[in-house]
A = this chain, B = another copy of it.
Amino acid sequence: MSKPTLKSVAKALGVSTATISNAFNRPDQLSVALREKILTACATLGYDGPNKAAQSLRKGSSGIVAVILSDSLEYMVSDPVASQFLQGVARELERQQKHLLLFSGNSTNLDTITDFVDGFICYGAPRNLALIEQLRHCKKRVLTVDFDLPGRPSVNIDNEQAAYDSAMAVLKPDDIVAVLGLRLIDAPDSQPVGSAPMWDNQSSVSHRRLDGYQRAMEALGLTLGTDYLWHTPESNQEYAAKAAKAVLNQVPQPSVLLCMSDLIALSAMRVALQLGIRIPEQLRVVGFDGIEETLRYHPTLTSVWQFSDRKGEAAARAFQSGVDSCQLLPYELRLGESS
């Protein structure tokens, strides 16, 4: 026998299809006794409720929320900040009894899934720019995180202000400052930004952070020398180490490293210590993000904590709420031994 359908059980029980439907979806539409009878009968028949696919076609909503990652799943899953975000989203979605569909940011076609999902939570601007265009015109609900799309709700922190705060907390009047940036230009390896054209200046959190660093430096009369601003294509150990090595071997040697992620900062500290540079005496280091690992490492890192798990929860909640506002989440500057 094949799987029972609403119609087949209705016939088997001698009632109308609407009654079965109501038994599952609108308990107030029939007597408790009848409902009870129907439900137990369904259980023995092996019918466990209306077909969700048909339900979705009919109602126009499925209870599935797609999370679009900026990069490949590959990268995202290995990045502690993204993982934390995903955890938050998953936790809140579970609370809402919704499901999570992971969608890679370098996919090409949104419409392979739009019809299945209730909407999109978009974590960081997708690497594939065509996706952004599609998200713009998408009929479904779209919420962005860590970037903005005109007319769409979003969840962010104030990256510029946070970066400014963190820089102000460590900078001194005579500092030689270097910045280890993340995805500032379109280059596949670590390298000084130099005069390369900046990348999607508008939406990137990195550029907002750079703005903040620079505002702080201006406030103190400091300038960022050419070759003291480095680009890193990804937030990982290798790229960061390469950039850190280069920057720390320059003359004059930097006295402060402003890093656009904690992973970069940790890697830079390792390099510095290997080079015999003492932290914080000879070099102060600041990170960004706030990840657990910095608490286990010594010296502990001064950093902006942005609580990505809560950001994930907030995003999922805002998505669900239907509110169309752009909210700014709080962050926290935490001073560590590195400054």
Give the docked Cα–Cα distance between A102 and B101 (Å): 6
Known contacts: A57-B57, A77-B83. The answer to whether A100 contacts B99 by CB under 8 A is: no
Q: Which of B55, B100, B112 contacts A101 (CB 8 A)?
A: B100
Chain B residues in 8 Å Cβ range of A229: none
Q: Contact between A74 and B87 (Cβ–Cβ < 8 Å)?
A: yes
Q: Separation in Å of the A241 CB from the closest CB of chain B?
A: 11
Give the docked Cα–Cα distance between A90 and B105 (Å): 12
The complex is assembled from copies of this chain, and their number is 2
A233: Cβ under 8 A from any B Cβ: no
Q: Separation in Å of the A102 CB from the closest CB of chain B?
A: 5
Q: Contact between B103 and A102 (Cβ–Cβ < 8 Å)?
A: no
A97: Cβ under 8 A from any B Cβ: yes
Q: Contact between B74 and A78 (Cβ–Cβ < 8 Å)?
A: no
Chain B residues in 8 Å Cβ range of A299: none
Give the docked Cα–Cα distance between A139 and B80 (Å): 37
Q: Which of B51, B87, B94, B113 contacts A99 (CB 8 A)?
A: B113
Q: Which residue of B lies closest to A78 (CB)?
A: B83
Interface residues of A in 105-137 (CB under 8 A from B): 107, 111-116
Chain B residues in 8 Å Cβ range of A87: 73-74, 77-78
Known contacts: A49-B111, A57-B54, A99-B101. The answer to whether A116 contacts B64 by CB under 8 A is: yes
Chain B residues in 8 Å Cβ range of A64: 101, 113, 116
Known contacts: A83-B78, A103-B99. The answer to whether A63 contacts B112 by CB under 8 A is: yes
Q: Contact between B112 and A100 (Cβ–Cβ < 8 Å)?
A: no
Q: Contact between B52 and A53 (Cβ–Cβ < 8 Å)?
A: no
Q: Which of A48, A115, A139 has the most CB of B within 10 A?
A: A115
A263: Cβ under 8 A from any B Cβ: no
A residues neighboring B (CB under 8 Å): 3, 48-49, 51-57, 62-64, 72-74, 77-78, 80, 83, 86-87, 90-91, 94, 97, 99-104, 107, 111-116, 139
Subset of 20 A-B contacts with CB under 8 Å: A3-B139, A48-B111, A49-B111, A52-B111, A53-B57, A53-B62, A53-B115, A54-B57, A54-B115, A64-B101, A64-B113, A64-B116, A72-B90, A73-B86, A73-B87, A74-B90, A77-B83, A97-B112, A99-B112, A116-B116
